[in-house]
Homo-oligomer: A and B are copies of this chain.
Amino acid sequence: MTESNDAPTSGPRPVRAPVGTALTCDNWQTEAAYRMLQNNLDPDVAEAPDQLVVYGGTGKAARDWPSFDALLRTLTTLKADETMLVQSGRPVGVMQTHEWAPRVLLANSNLVGDWATWPEFRRLEQLGLMMYGQMTAGSWIYIGTQGILQGTYETFAAVAEKRFGGTLAGTLTLTAGCGGMGGAQPLAVTMNGGACLIIDVDPVRLRRRVETRYLDVVAADLDEAVKLAVDARTAKKALSVGVVGNAAVLVPKLLRMGVPIDIVTDQTSAHDPLAYLPDGIDLPDAPDYAARKPEEFTDRSRQAMAKHVEAMVGFMDAGAEVFDYGNSIRGEAKLGGYDRAFDFPGFVPAYIRPLFCEGKGPFRWAALSGDPSDIHKTDKAILDLFPENESLARWIKLAGERVAFQGLPARICWLGYGERDKAGERFNEMVADGTLKAPLVIGRDHLDCGSVASPYRETESMLDGSDAIADWPLLNAMVNVASGASWVSIHHGGGVGMGRSIHAGQVTVADGTALAAQKIQRVLTNDPGMGVIRHVDAGYERAEQVAAETGVRVPMREG
């Protein structure tokens, strides 16, 4: 649809979520969407708010500024039995549903299989017909770098457990990419006691992580960076060091230099070859070059990734623990002509799948009051609810001390089947009895146990070979709609890029009502329940145990 002429013109401006208890919308369910959409674009949260870009390359919260305005406007008109439909970041309809139904339904970046490519997506994006939703950008539940921090913390903890006796003290981790997601890496490594050297082409990104206390220091040059990092390793000190440079150049160089590196990974924006900077191009020239000659840029970018990944394999051959951190760099390096790209595993089969079998995943919540004390109270509630879970307690404590809030105060922790509903119901009680100043939203990343099909990441190397089956995320979305979530989204291409993933998200508002309690109980049981049945179906024993212990029904085992 072309813009109607009478729509008010609008454009880039600083956006922040309203806070406090006064409602702009009809009720808290829609008010929550109204606030979280704006929170996603808060200058303290989003990577490039003027372009409506939240994180992850070009992951956006709304298609364009007129769509953003229309989203807010429509939310303020929405009644408690109406539902707004959002197609790739633009509101396209309002329909009468009922009070158990979600208030917003979103579908972002979805393309029919044979057309699920970056060139077709970009053609449609340029026509103004689509946007890239990434995972939590287009589904309005990005909460800043903390969102990924817990997952990254869990992953490095699993690495420590597997190879280094439970701690990273005395190890050096090499990685690159210090953006919205990747910026969590240095803090996650130091929280696990290790030293970390992180490369980014963009000095602004590195400095920003220092400001938000995710990164300890930016070195003047590579030599200084290596010295600081190796000294910390030797002294078994937790320290993170940033260095400006191109990973396609510096990673091979560090390999040649023989720097004692124990763990190698990467979170540059490799999922999109136009977002990864090839060597030999200056950062300021990249956007223009990529726009003018996307194919040439793509070729050069894939060749650079081939060099980058070849060096990662070199570290692996030398004995380091090496893994792909979910940005599709192996796939792109392979397209760039490097044959051994898939020699090292993705992080999910290596470290995360055992958690998925228990329905565990990135449970998160944000305080609509805007008051940090609401989150501190929920932190305490979590500790009270799960006293036996030590690593959870350690995380909540460290997070309270070291995580700076961005935008609305929020918290994340990984909880499993039988835990999320408990936490959600407790939170709703705390809203109801006035312990908290205002309602909470409860959501999660699309990277979850039962909500994604992504053969290079979350569903890589499934036991039964079912990596590419996308029925599961679609069932996940539908069952969340059917369970009373406040908004539900289905996206394509998050994390690993076009053609490589389909995934779903849900957010449920704890507004303290009895109805919300019922919805929360269902959504936060069924949503992780999808993870359990998905892994039972694939033949994972741990998932079978969990299903048996918790009474999750598996129809093929009955009768």
Interface residues of A (CB under 8 A from B): 1-4, 7-8, 66-67, 69-71, 73-74, 83-85, 87-88, 90-98, 100-102, 105, 107-117, 120, 123-124, 127, 129-130, 453-455, 464-472, 474-475, 477-479, 481-484, 488, 490, 492, 498-502, 518, 522, 525-526, 529-530, 533-534, 536-539, 552-559
Report 27 cross-chain contacts, Cβ distance below 8 Å, ordered by A residue. Answer: A3-B556, A8-B559, A70-B556, A84-B555, A87-B537, A91-B555, A92-B533, A92-B537, A93-B475, A93-B529, A94-B553, A95-B483, A95-B553, A96-B525, A98-B482, A102-B478, A107-B470, A107-B478, A109-B471, A110-B469, A110-B471, A113-B113, A113-B117, A113-B498, A113-B500, A113-B502, A127-B464
A482 touches B101 (CB 8 A): yes
Task: Tell me the complex Cα distance, A85–B482, Å.
Answer: 11
Known: A120-B468, A537-B87, A555-B74. A112 touches B453 (CB 8 A): yes
Contact A555 B7 (CB under 8 A): no
Q: A114-B455, A114-B468, A481-B481 are in contact. List 4 more A-B contacts (CB 8 A).
A: A93-B530, A98-B522, A107-B475, A111-B468
Q: Complex formed: what's the CA distance from A105 to B500 in Å?
A: 24
* A495 CA / B191 CA spacing, docked (Å): 53
Contact of A502 among B110, B117, B488, B558 (CB under 8 A): B110
A525, B93: Cα distance in complex, Å: 12
Contact A492 B470, beta carbon cutoff 8 Å: yes
Q: Which residues of B contact A66 (CB under 8 A)?
A: 556
B555 touches A70 (CB 8 A): yes
Assembled-state Cα–Cα distance A501/B498 (Å) = 16
A538 surroundings in chain B (CB, below 8 A): 1
Cβ contact within 8 Å between B464 and A1: yes
Query: With A93-B555, A556-B3 given, is the CB distance from A114 to B500 under 8 Å?
Result: yes
Contact present for A465 and B115 (CB under 8 Å):
no
Q: How far is the CA of A553 from the CA of B124 in the complex (A)?
A: 24
Which B residues lie within 8 Å of A91 (CB)?
555-556
Tell whether, in the assembled complex, residue A111 and residue B469 are in contact, meaning their CB atoms are under 8 Å apart.
yes
Return the chain B residue nearest A1 by Cβ.
Answer: B537
A111 to chain B, nearest CB (A): 5
> Contact check: which of B7, B85, B111, B113 meets A479 at CB < 8 Å?
B85
The CA of A473 and the CA of B464, in the complex, are separated in Å by 29
CB-nearest residue of chain B to A67 = B556
Q: What residues on B are CB-neighbors of A552 within 8 Å?
A: 93
In the assembled complex, the Cα of A467 lies from the Cα of B555 at a distance in Å of 38
